[in-house]
Amino acid sequence: MKDENSTTVGRRALLSNIGVAAVAGLAVSASQVSAQPAAHAAAQPAGFQPVRHSQDSWLDELPGSHRVIVDSSTPVGGASALWYANNILTAHEESYEGSATDYAMIVCLRHLSTPFGFDDGIWAKYGAFLNRAADPAPTENSLNTAGPSSGGHSIGSSVARGVQFAICGRATRRIAMGIASSTGATADEVFAELAAGLIPNARMVPAGVVTVTRAQEYGYSLLYAE
């Protein structure tokens, strides 16, 4: 028969072994739990990466340490877009001791501001179609002259500061169809004529709305002009 002391010692050893096993179990569980977030994180994608298209590659080719696109879709907005773009450049020059060349600056002319994307030759020929509300029909692009609606800026003065223009191709196609229906020419012929008569520093883009959204994928800040 075991004496009382030996029984006590046995119980203490058993409890000690149970405690060690419990601690070991907790340690294993904790290591498993801590490993789960790491494994889960490793399985997550690195982040959204937009697909690139050759039609948009020019957005990444413009020089500048800052990128801005000013969007416009109305006649008033087209004039305001010139104002806003130049305000940004002037503020950067005056308050940041920078230069206009620090900016990749794009003004998008789409929807009802698209006609501002055509030169005076196009306006002289098709002014009645480009601005049906005017009487008499305009014969020149009004933004070629600095005025109060554009904050004293013109297309020419903006081009001199490096401003680029994106002209909506879909809106241009719509304009071409309207002109063609009244002149007997084909829409393709008129479209080609309009595309050849763009203002300086301008390019025809597939759609202004697409270019505005794609520009943001290339790191451009968006400002809408009203």
Q: Is the pLDDT of residue 180 over 50?
A: yes
Parallel, antiparallel, or unpaired: how do β-strands 164-168 and 103-109 relate?
A: parallel
Do 27 and 101 sit in the same domain of this protein? Answer: no
Q: Mark 104-126 as b/e (b = at least 16 C-beta within 10 Å).
A: bbbbbbbbebbbbbbbeebbebb
The answer as to whether 46 is a domain residue is no
Q: What is the pLDDT of residues 73-91, one digit of tens each?
A: 999 999 999 999 999 999 9
Q: Which residue has the higher pLDDT, 204 or 22?
A: 204
Nearest to 166 by CA among 133, 204, 222, 114: 204
Do 36 and 70 sit in the same domain of this protein? Answer: no
Number of H helices, E strands in the chain: 7, 5
Do 16 and 114 sit in the same domain of this protein? Answer: no
Do 124 and 208 sit in the same domain of this protein? Answer: yes
The answer as to whether 128 is a domain residue is yes
The answer as to whether 49 is a domain residue is no
Nearest to 106 by CA among 51, 150, 167: 167
pLDDT band at 22 (very low <50, low <70, confident <90, very high): very low
CA distance 44 to 96: 40
What DSSP state is assigned to residue 57?
G
Do 105 and 150 sit in the same domain of this protein? Answer: yes
- Least-confidence region, from 4-8, 43-47, 134-138, 203-207: 4-8
Do 26 and 73 sit in the same domain of this protein? Answer: no
Q: Is the pLDDT of residue 139 over 50?
A: yes
Do 29 and 126 sit in the same domain of this protein? Answer: no
Mean pLDDT of 179-192: 97
Do 8 and 62 sit in the same domain of this protein? Answer: no
Q: What percentage of residues in the chain have a pLDDT greater than 70?
A: 80
Domain around 17:
1-41
CATH assignment at residue 185: 3.40.1260.10
Q: Is the pLDDT of residue 16 over 60?
A: no
> Dihedrals φ, ψ of 55, to 5°?
-65, -20
Please, what is the average pLDDT of the chain? 87
Total domains, the chain: 2
* Its pTM surpasses 0.85: no
Q: The tokens 């241009």 sit on which residue?
A: 172
Q: What is the pLDDT of residues 43-81, one digit of tens each?
A: 555 789 999 999 999 999 999 999 999 999 999 999 999
